[in-house]
Every structure is written in structure tokens, then in C-alpha cells.
Amino acid sequence: MSYTDYHFGDRLMDLRVQEERYQAETRRLQREARRAHPGLLSLQSCWLLCQLGRLFVSLGVRLLHAGLPHPRAAGEHMLVE
């Protein structure tokens, strides 16, 4: 093995070690971030709130239709300005 081959191999090994350390540090920071800032809502909570929101919208639409006569049925016409 020549002198340059040795230094090339040595430098390549150093770069691989640095890359592995960098990836290990990245994984460690990601784990810490997940522990420090957990999600606000679980998937089940999110699904439940979505269903509840849909129910409120549906009930609101029904209340609007039940409480107000349809403009054309009452003989009213919408004014266009």
C-alpha cells in the first residue's frame, strides 16, 4: 500500500466516523424533541373532535332551515345591487 492510499483510507475512515456521529446526534435530538413536545391531540381525540364538529355544522344547518322560510317559498326575491 502506498503512502497516498494509506492517507486516503485513513481520511475515508474519519469521514465515515464523522458521518455516523452526526447521524447519531441527529437521532438523539429527534428523540428529545418528540419527548419535549408531544403532539397536542392523539389520533382518536382528533377524530372525535372532527365528528363533533361535523355534527354541530349539521345541526346548525338544520336550525337555519327550520327557523327561516326559504326566500322563494315566501315570495321574496333577492335584491341584486
Domain shared by 10 and 34, yes or no? yes
Q: Is residue 57 part of a domain?
A: yes
Is 34 found in the same domain as 45? no
> Between residues 68 and 62, which one has the greater pLDDT?
62
Task: Give the ranges where 1-81 is alpha helix by DSSP (H).
Answer: 3-36, 43-67
At residue 72, the pLDDT reads 63
Q: What is the pLDDT of residue 76?
A: 54
Number of domains in the chain: 2
Mean pLDDT across the chain: 80
Residues 28 and 53 in one domain: no
pLDDT in tens, 48-66: 899 999 999 999 888 888 8
Alpha carbon dihedral 29, 35, 39, 45, in 10-degree steps, equals: 150
**Position 13 in a domain:** yes
Q: What tens digit of pLDDT does each residue of 13-45 get?
A: 999 999 999 999 999 998 888 777 666 667 778
- Assess if residue 76 is contained within a domain: no
Please tell me the pTM assigned to this model: 0.43
Note whether residue 80 is domain-resident.
no
State pLDDT tens for residues 3-14.
678 888 889 999
DSSP 8-state code for residue 75: T
Q: How far is CA 55 from the centre of its chain?
A: 23
The answer on 32 and 4 residing in a single domain is yes
> Is the CB of residue 56 less than 8 Å from the CB of residue 48?
no
Domain hosting 29: range is: 1-38
Q: Which residues of 23-39 are buried (b: 16+ CB within 10 A; e: fewer)?
A: eeeeeeeeeeeeeeeee
One domain for residues 23 and 54: no
| Cα–Cα distance for residue pair 24/16, rounded to 1 Å | 12
